[in-house]
Amino acid sequence: MLTLREVADNPSALTDRVVLADGPEVTFRPLVPGDAEPLAAFLAALSPESRRFSTHGGHDLAAAVELCDAIARYDKLRLVLEEVPSGRITGLLELSLDLHPSDIDRYRRSGIPLTATDCRFGATLADDHQGKGVGTQVFPLVADVARRFGRRRIILWGGVLTDNPRAIRYYEKNGFRPVGAFTGADGTRSLDMILDLDRGF
């Protein structure tokens, strides 16, 4: 089973080249310490809607540096899509290998006990890369990474806002099933969804 330290020491273990349906190539790879600037450019360019749908701590260089500093320090594994040959980051795919107590609580109330073989996932693509099937094309790579960390199910990190139909459709078509809706501290409604990796994804 892979560890975050091993990935940080050898990012090529999780690196893949993907030819997108509309022609260009992207590299799917772990975030590395040298990514702060292109990651900041990616975050800064996100539209207000993408920022609302996909919550990040910030959208500037400081936020990007924080994400790079977190590599192999906590439970997070961040993967990026990097356009070839420009080096532009066009997607951030985030796995959290530890569960939050609030997730454990909510799922328990829905009759689904979470375990140490579950993980959390969230995806954000650059606005000009959304709605073109890119997220679906790379999802099998994400699922494979989760499996290599010994995970058997994936839940949505913080759920998905109920007024984000594209993301809900995206998760559904990639095998996630709805678990239940909940209201966040800010009053927004979100949906919990879970994917069973043993069901052949």
Please give the residue ranges that form the binding site for ligand COA (CB under 6 A): 50, 53-54, 122-125, 130-136, 156, 160, 164-167, 169-170, 173
State in angstroms the smallest separation of the CB of 104 from ligand COA: 19
DSSP state of 162: T
Task: Answer whether 120's CB lies under 8 Å from 95's CB.
Answer: yes
Q: Of 17 and 166, which CB lies nearer to ligand COA in the complex structure?
A: 166
110 — phi, psi (to 5°)?
A: -90, 5
CA distance 78 to 169: 23
User: Cα–Cα distance between 161 and 188 in angstroms, integer?
Assistant: 7
- Output the smallest distance, CB 165 to ligand COA, in A: 3
Closer residue to ligand COA in complex, CB, 12/40: 40
Closer by beta carbon to ligand COA, 73 or else 185: 185
Residue 34 vs 48, nearer CB to ligand COA: 48
Q: What distances in angstroms separate CA 129 from CA 2, 42, 93, 138, one per listed residue? A: 30, 12, 13, 12
Cβ 125 vs Cβ 134: under 8 Å? yes
Least Å distance between CB 199 and ligand COA? 19
* Residue number, nearest CB to ligand COA: 135
Q: How far is the CB of 168 from ligand COA (least distance, A)?
A: 7
Question: Residue 190 is encoded by which pair of tokens?
Answer: 């979100």
With H, G, I as helix, E, B as strand and everything else as coil, classify residue 3.
coil
We find the least distance from the C-beta atom of residue 5 to ligand COA, in angstroms, to be: 28
Which of 140, 150 has the CB closer to ligand COA? 140
